[in-house]
C-alpha cells in the first residue's frame, strides 16, 4: 500500500481557492484533497479558512471592478445623451440656413424643415432669429461690457449739477 504524498500549505490553499471559485462545498473540497494527499481534517479546516479569506478578497475586488465598470458605462451613456457644442451649433446653423418646404396647414402656409432622420419641424422667422442669437451667444458675440470699478462717492447735488452742465453744453 503506497503512502499518499504530502501537500504544501500554499498548494493546498491554492487548490481550495480554485474549488471555491467553481462553487464547490467544503465537504467536496475536503474529499478531493484527502483522496489525493495526506492531510488531516483539522489541517484542512485551517487551510480552508485561509482560502475563504483569499476568495472573499478576490470576490470583493471583482465586485469593486464590476461596480466601477458600471459607473463608467453610466457616465458614457449620459455623455452620449448630451449634445456637444459642435452638434448644437450645427443644428442651430441648419435652422437658420436650411431650405424649407412650404406646407398648407388650414388657411396658413408654414415653412417646414425636414431633418435627415425624417423628423419635420415648423420653422418661423422668430425661430430663425432666436437660433441666430443663440449662435452669436455661443460664439461670444454678446460678451458683457466691462466697467471700471467706481469707488469715488459724490454728493447727490454735485451729480445733478454735472448732469445739468452737460445738458446745457448739448443745446
pLDDT digits (tens, 9 = 90+) for 83-134: 778 888 888 888 888 888 888 877 778 888 887 888 888 888 888 888 888 8
136-150, pLDDT tens digit by residue?
Answer: 888 877 666 666 666
Residues 6+ apart with CB under 8 A from 88: 138
Q: Classify strands 108-114 and 120-123 as parallel, antiparallel or unpaired.
A: antiparallel
Please give the model's pTM, rounded to 2 decimal places: 0.44
Cross-sheet strand order for the sheet of 120-123: 101-105, 108-114, 120-123
Name the more confident of 148 and 57: 57
Amino acid at each position: 500500500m503506497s503512502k499518499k504524498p504530502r501537500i504544501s500549505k500554499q498548494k493546498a490553499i491554492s487548490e481550495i481557492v480554485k474549488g471555491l471559485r467553481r462553487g464547490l462545498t467544503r465537504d467536496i473540497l475536503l474529499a478531493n484533497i484527502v483522496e489525493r494527499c495526506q492531510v488531516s481534517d483539522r489541517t484542512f479546516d485551517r487551510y480552508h479558512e485561509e482560502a475563504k479569506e483569499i476568495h472573499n478578497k478576490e470576490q470583493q475586488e471583482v465586485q469593486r471592478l464590476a461596480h466601477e465598470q458600471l459607473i463608467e458605462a453610466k457616465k458614457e451613456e449620459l455623455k452620449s445623451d448630451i449634445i456637444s457644442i459642435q452638434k448644437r451649433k450645427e443644428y442651430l446653423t441648419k435652422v437658420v440656413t436650411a431650405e424649407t418646404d412650404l406646407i398648407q396647414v388650414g388657411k396658413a402656409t408654414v415653412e417646414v424643415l425636414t431633418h435627415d432622420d425624417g423628423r419635420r419641424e415648423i420653422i418661423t422667422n422668430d425661430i430663425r432669429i432666436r437660433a441666430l442669437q443663440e449662435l452669436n451667444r455661443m460664439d461670444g458675440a454678446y460678451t458683457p461690457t466691462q466697467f471700471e470699478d467706481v469707488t469715488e462717492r459724490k454728493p447727490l447735488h454735485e451729480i445733478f449739477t454735472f448732469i445739468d452742465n452737460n445738458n446745457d453744453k448739448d443745446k
